[in-house]
Amino acid sequence: MLEALSSPVETTPTADVARIRAAFEAQRAHRWTMSRTTAAERIARLKRLREAILARRLELAEAIHQDFRKPAMEVELTEVHPTLEELNHTVKHLKSWMKPTRVGTPLLLAGSSSHVRYEARGVVLVLSPWNYPFQLLMAPLVAAIAAGNTVICKPSEKTPHTSRFLARLVKDVFPENEVALFEGGAEVAEALLELPFDHIFFTGNPRIGRKVMEAAAKHLASVTLELGGKSPAIIDPSADLAATAETLAWGKFLNGGQTCVAPDYVFVHESRQQAFLDALRAVISRFYGATEAERQASPDLARLVDPVAWKRVKDLVDRSVAAGAKLEVGGVADGASRYIAPTVLSGVTPDMPIMEGEIFGPVLPVMTYRTREEIYAHIQAGGKPLALYLFSEDKRMVEEVFQNTTSGGAVVNNVLIHVANPNLPFGGVGMSGLGHYHGVYGFRTFSHERAVTVQWMKSLAAVFFPPYRGKAQEWASRATRLLE
């Protein structure tokens, strides 16, 4: 497997524009058939997908390991389990989600009733990333199918083995006029974005997210953007440092630090910095090995996805150390295997390279604070993060942090776990994203909420018809007084 990791990446398929357009037109012709499917028919499709995943989970683990040596346990916990959870939750609740929702009727509309219908958007595009190449394609796909859409998917070319696995899976489970998947690089994405999709779901970085929005604007398509950002972790003096260090180490170094909701940096009160660093050092030794050699040999650390990512993270560390940051743990890097050690930096200041943007690697910068206002000023000055993590036993502190910050999601005394709850919406705000999904929120994202009013008897509104004199004027005045 290490040989596969180190070998040159195979060339990904180039764009076959004619085939892409043919698939799109086939789906557009079929979209009304799909939108009329019943809950039972959609559930049958989802169950068929679930059975295929269960039958191929070992093949999936091998594909992801070949791409960036992700441990099999992490594949199970972060790729397979969340997908099955999403599938099971959707299968259980889809029938109730599809039912029209009755809403109230104001007095002036007496004699009518109103409801909201959930209708498929039509033909939708899912552009998924490389860091969780299976789960982050499957979750929006499940929601899009549940809402009755036809779907075209494009996985990232940076994980070619997983991309090919996904292509085989989709082809075996769905006819192409329902779900199609195209492999390839930027030229494939560009060819897809030329088409008049009804909705585009993109997971990636803000730079590409802007291009997706521009392409969608040409066709007035709606978009969901799942982006990233520098998600802070705040350690209050009341926090349990041993538990905090253990949780942060897990959340930061999971998947080689290549997680959009990973804790990107830490704020710890200056009086507790040394105790936190000592606790973090002990946890890293226990998780991955007591020496740098043991950590490099550990089977529990994923590698950076490609040489470009490896060099970028290494340069961030090198330049930050040159600027005055202190290496507390790690700093070892091996280009041949795309390895970067679990790394902790102290003495970090906001102007250092490591704080310029999302790290997306196994490096944890630690900054100190004296007053909470320092934390709030720093977070408010930057882009709105995808997640915020707070470690505290002080409920008043928790509420104060929420009132002075914003983020896509938040967790108190843990990290990442909000993503695993299908009853919560997942998504960003501002630079970290637009829109959300998971559970019913995903179903609604891929649905048009159609407002319907049905008049069952003569409308009272007739008294307001022209000419606007006499009784019409009198009734209009009475109606206004009722609202005062």
Query: What kind of fold does domain 2-227+436-448 have according to CATH?
Result: Aldehyde Dehydrogenase; Chain A, domain 1 (3.40.605)
How many beta carbons lie within 10 A of that of residue 78, not counting itself? 23
Report how far residue 65's alpha carbon sits from residue 88's, in angstroms, rounded to the nearest whole number.
26
Q: What does the block give as tokens for 299?
A: 């089977």
Give the residue numbers annotated as catalytic, written as ranges. Answer: 226, 260
The set of residues, in sequence order, having a beta carbon less than 8 Å from that of 125 and lying 6+ positions away, is 151, 152, 153, 154, 192, 193, 195, 197, 199, 200, 201
At 174, phi and psi to the nearest 5? -125, 145
How far apart CA 57 and CA 61 sit, in angstroms, is: 6
Residues 13, 186: Cα–Cα separation, whole Å = 11
Instruction: Give the single-character DSSP code of 78.
Output: I
What are φ and ψ of residue 196, in 5° steps?
-85, 70
Encode the chain (484 residues) as per-residue pLDDT tens digits: 333 333 334 445 566 899 999 999 999 999 999 999 999 999 999 999 999 999 999 999 999 999 999 999 999 999 999 999 999 999 999 999 999 999 998 877 878 899 999 999 999 999 999 999 999 999 999 999 999 999 999 999 999 999 999 999 999 999 999 999 999 999 999 999 999 999 999 999 999 999 999 999 999 999 999 998 899 999 999 999 999 999 999 999 999 999 999 999 999 999 999 999 999 999 999 999 999 999 999 999 999 999 999 999 999 999 999 999 999 999 999 999 999 999 999 999 999 999 999 999 999 999 999 999 999 999 999 999 999 999 999 999 999 999 999 999 999 999 999 999 999 999 999 999 999 999 999 999 999 999 999 988 776 666 666 776 666 666 666 666 666 6
Radius of gyration of the chain (CA): 26
* Cis bond upstream, residue 467 (ω within 30): yes
Instruction: Provide φ and ψ at 471, rounded to 5°.
Output: -65, -35
Q: Are strands 363-369 and 343-346 parallel, antiparallel or unpaired?
A: parallel
Q: Considering the domain 232-427 in this protein, what is its CATH number? A: 3.40.309.10
Segments making up each domain of the chain, as ranges? 2-227+436-448, 232-427
Alpha helices in 219-270 (DSSP H): 241-253
Cross-strand partners of 345: 327, 365
CB neighbour list of residue 168: distance below 8 Å, 6 or more residues apart: none
> Nearest 10 degrees: CA dihedral of 67, 280, 405, 326?
-90
Burial label for 41, CB within 10 Å (0-12, 13-18, 19+), is exposed
- What pLDDT digit, counting tens, does each position of 158-170 carry? 999 999 999 999 9
For residue 77, CA distances in Å to 84, 189, 417 come to: 10, 29, 12
Residue entry with tokens 């789960």 = 135
Tens digits of residue pLDDT in 338-347: 999 999 999 9
Token pair in block for residue 27:
């789906």
Spell 409-422 as b/e; 16+ CB within 10 A means b: bbbbbbbbebbeeb
Task: Tell me the C-alpha to C-alpha distance, in Å, between residue 62 and each of 57, 75, 169, 255.
Answer: 9, 9, 14, 15
Tokens standing for residue 283 = 């946890």
- Quick one: pLDDT at residue 7? 35
